[in-house]
Amino acid sequence: MKIEIWSDYVCPFCYIGEHRLQKALEVFPNRDGVSIEYKCYELDPNAKAIPDMDYYTMLSKKMGTSVDQVKQFTKSLKQQAAELGLTYNFDQMQHTNTFDAHRLAKYAESQGKGKEMTERLFRAHFTEGKLLGDKDVLIELAESVGIDKEDAVSVLASNEKGRKVREDEEQARELGVQGVPFFVFNKVRCFRCTAY
């Protein structure tokens, strides 16, 4: 079975959804026959690389609610994450553009390190508060999963893998994806999240 997952590294539902899938696969009798392909989706393709407001303010503007309401909302997400062994530090998170992170993940995938890079990017954003729009941070994260530093520098200095990111996003449009995570099992749409 092939599972395709459209997600973004700054989407709290995506990190939770990916870990829920992993938990389900742990008890799935045919898990050895499952392959997962990570697909790119930018929640906010117009986001700046360097944020100009704190995370709670950004969410309150996006959701059209008060900062206090956003903080209540994030408490629920933090609890859901904790139930899966994940730590969400909303006070440290930084809203940023993720195009380069997706490009680097596509390169990591070509090197057999896609799953490791995906997990590292999620943890860097949600737990460690690292700025995924910063190329130096991305290079450090790539090195931590075994990607050669010079290769990561080269990818980020060019437009390498940019076309692959855009192809995933075009495929998402063709499928009618309006929220992530979005799962496709053996070419059959099964789930989309539109709550964020």
- What the block records as the tokens of 15 is 């990190």
Q: In what order do the strands lie in the sheet with 188-192?
A: 35-40, 2-7, 182-185, 188-192
Give me the tens of pLDDT residue by residue for the chain, a chain 196 residues long: 999 999 999 999 999 999 999 999 999 999 999 999 999 999 999 999 999 999 999 999 999 999 999 999 999 999 999 999 999 999 999 999 999 999 999 999 999 999 999 999 999 999 999 999 999 999 999 999 999 999 999 999 998 899 999 999 999 999 999 999 999 999 876 555 444 3
Give start and end residues of each alpha helix (H) in the chain. Answer: 12-26, 55-63, 67-82, 99-110, 114-126, 135-144, 149-157, 162-175
Q: Where are the domains of the chain?
A: 2-192
Architecture in CATH for domain 2-192:
3-Layer(aba) Sandwich (3.40)
